[in-house]
Structure 1
Amino acid sequence: MNGVEITGYGTALPKNTVTFGDQTRYRVVAGETQISLAVEACEQALRQGNLDITEIDCLVSASAVAVQPIPCTAALIHEQIAQGTDIPAIDINTTCTSFVTALDTFSTLIEAGRYTRVLIVSSEVGSLGLNPNQKESFELFSDGAAAIVLERSTNPEKGVISAMQRTWSEGAHQTEIRGGLTAFPPSNYSEETKEEYMFDMQGKAILSLVIKKLPKMMAAFYEQSGLSADLIDKVVPHQASRAMPLLMKKIGFSKEQYFDTVKEYGNMVSASIPFTLCNALSEQAIKDGDTVLFIGTAAGLTTNILAMRC
């Protein structure tokens, strides 16, 4: 077990909402940016944990889409909340599961003694890249941000129990934004090519691949971790789509075990899991000593599973 605990958390949402039937989505308006949402969430996490930024020894942006190609998004957040310090700023990107990858990576680095207290933030304004001609994705995604402070724990019962990440690249082109970097550089942009620079998702194909692969991965995770479905108190899944109940049932979790907030918040990309986590902590739906499972799929097709005793 990597001996870590969450000692601060915070979220941020745009002011504007749109509705699609009974579904609510948050979308940025003028004056709101990916950085402003990240900063708000970070500052809230620090306040909630009674901490100052100088007490953080690493700042991590775990987001799917960067603010710009270079520098890393974490450096741009650093500019707003940590300028004048030399706290390292690092980006982690496994798209929708970036937060879980960051939690896995930095719990290991904390356990190894490299860091003591890390601020991890996921912030997304995916609405800016949606294609209005693709109704499924256009009506699914929301903007938002969430941040946690992760630090070394003095309680031997708390920490990351086990983690697993796998990629099935037969699904690599089922979720894409092809334009903007070297495959389709900005110089190639035109009215004819503009959809290459927008989000493109084949939802049914992704779900089919996940249903085929995830049960075997879940079994391997249980063997590795020594856990089982009945030993998991709460599941914090990526809020990928309205098909979540089908997938949770497929891998053996009851409705009482997992959080489903797709109707209220939609899919916040990398911010989805930490936002759900922060809300659950705030509402005391996750209690001290609970064993919590984080699980999600991401473009690639990458899947992460991580169990933590909170």
Structure 2
Amino acid sequence: MDHLNSNINIRATGIALPLNVIQSIDIDKQQSWPLGQTEKTTGVASRHYVNDETATDLALTAIHQAIENSDLLLDDIDCLISASGTMEQPIPCNAAKIHARLPFARPIPAFDINMTCLSAVKALDIAHALLSTQRYKNILIVSSEIASVGLDWSVRETGGLFGDGAAALIVSHSTQNNTRILASHFETFSEGVEMCQIRGLGTLNHPANTQGDYRPYGLFEMQGKAVFRLTTQHIQNFVDNLLAKTSYTLQDMDWVIPHQASQLGLQHIEKRLNIAPGKMINIIKHRGNQIAASIPSALHELLQSGKVKTGDKVMLLGTSAGLSFGAIVLEIG
């Protein structure tokens, strides 16, 4: 067992969505696909795409909502973590750009964590460690994703799957009977390293050293069937390894919040893990896959629903490019 069990107070959450709502039927018309094809393929009926908003703009909206929902002031925050799979620009990091737009009274540290779709979950794991050692008192985690800029519309399986948005969490060290992280677990299976990728925008395929049309290098590529097979191969053993760190079984989980990867993926996880009806949080129909913002957005919706009780066990569970698996088990205080 992990014996983590130190208290962590999830003080507040917040989300942000672009104003522009894109219906799947509009994508069908734009791409000259059969009407209903996008929703049938992806399970997404609508999603939000940015117009003029930047990733920083979305992050700020989510942060301000989280601050308003908390009993803290902005200057009570002493560490800022940006946990996103996409970047507004390579340098400086996302967190530095967000920090620059927030009126902090002092220059608190700001840094990025990128584990693609698992970025927020890993950030929560690291924040828990930092809070447990009392390095910081209040840590702000924000995931802000603009997926719509890099979609390959020649591939129906991914073209309409993604949505833009942001989510923020404020977490604090606590000696009171608040939420506990009972276990965290992460694994990476490198045979999946090229199954989800954007080949450009880094040093390997830099625009300055690439001939011809650079646009394809900036598009998201996914071998969907291969990802599905690899996930299927490892998901049960991964969850078993996670729960072995606790005294609980999957049936003891009151809520399961998976990464909103795809409707098919969510249905497969529910069936494969035999999750009881009503326990799994599914928001993909009107959000799409929001990359790292997916899990904290779904957590926000669950916490705002009023359905969660003291003592409830919540599993945050996801996969990310690499191919990596990650999960955290929370006990709500």
Compute the TM-score of the two structures, normalised by the length of structure 2.
Answer: 0.90
Q: Which amino acid in 1 is paired with 2:124?
A: L
- Give the counterpart of 2:268 among 221, 235, 246: 246
- Give the counterpart of 2:114 among 83, 88, 93: 93
What's the counterpart of residue 5 of structure 1?
9
Q: Distance in 1 between matches of 2:6 and 2:154?
A: 45
What's the counterpart of residue 164 of structure 2?
143
- 1:270-291 Cα shifts (integer Å, max 9, x gaps): 0000011111111223333321
- Conserved 8 A contact 1:245-1:255: no
Change (3 A) 1:189 1:254: farther
Q: Distance in 2 between matches of 1:104 and 1:4?
A: 11
Over aligned residues, Cα RMSD in angstroms?
1.4
Q: Distance in 1 between matches of 2:208 and 2:116?
A: 25
Change (3 A) 1:83 1:188: farther
1:237 aligns with 2:258: yes
1:223-302 paired onto structure 2 within 5 Å: 223-243=244-264, 244-302=266-324
**Which range moved further: 226-235 or 295-304?**
226-235
What is the Cα deviation at residue 84 of structure 1?
4.8
What's the counterpart of residue 206 of structure 1?
227
What's the counterpart of residue 93 of structure 2?
72
What's the counterpart of residue 81 of structure 1?
102
What's the counterpart of residue 28 of structure 2?
none
**Which range moved further: 82-91 or 252-261?**
82-91
Q: Distance in 2 between matches of 1:181 and 1:33?
A: 20
- Conserved 8 A contact 1:281-1:287: no
What is the Cα deviation at residue 155 of structure 1?
2.6
Q: Distance in 1 between matches of 2:211 and 2:59?
A: 31
SS at match of 1:86: coil
What's the counterpart of residue 46 of structure 2?
24
**Which range moved further: 150-159 or 288-297?**
150-159
Q: Which amino acid in 1 is paired with 2:316?
A: F
What's the counterpart of residue 51 of structure 1?
72
- Displaced runs of 4+ in structure 1, greater than 3 A? 188-193
SS at match of 2:118: helix
- 1:206-249 Cα shifts (integer Å, max 9, x gaps): 01100001111111111122221121111111000011111222
Change (3 A) 1:175 1:288: same
What is the Cα deviation at residue 193 of structure 1?
3.7
Q: Which amino acid in 2 is paired with 1:96?
A: C
What's the counterpart of residue 119 of structure 1?
140
- Conserved 8 A contact 2:162-2:290: yes
SS at match of 2:244: helix
1:157-176 paired onto structure 2 within 5 Å: 158-176=179-197
- Conserved 8 A contact 1:121-1:145: yes
**Which range moved further: 201-210 or 15-24?**
15-24
1:110 aligns with 2:134: no
- Conserved 8 A contact 2:14-2:64: yes
Aligned-residue identity in percent: 36
- Conserved 8 A contact 1:2-1:108: no
Q: Distance in 2 between matches of 1:12 and 1:157?
A: 26
**Which range moved further: 67-76 or 21-30?**
21-30
What's the counterpart of residue 185 of structure 1?
206
What's the counterpart of residue 195 of structure 1?
216
State the aligned residue count. 309
Q: Distance in 2 between matches of 1:130 and 1:256?
A: 32
- Please list every run of 5 or more consecutive structure 1 residues that lacks an aligned counterpart in the other structure: none
- Conserved 8 A contact 1:153-1:159: no
What is the Cα deviation at residue 112 of structure 1?
1.1
1:39 aligns with 2:60: yes
Change (3 A) 1:143 1:189: farther
Q: Distance in 1 between matches of 2:58 and 2:248?
A: 36
Change (3 A) 1:182 1:252: same
Q: Which amino acid in 1 is paired with 2:194?
A: H
- Conserved 8 A contact 1:18-1:25: yes
What's the counterpart of residue 331 of structure 2?
309
Change (3 A) 1:41 1:219: same
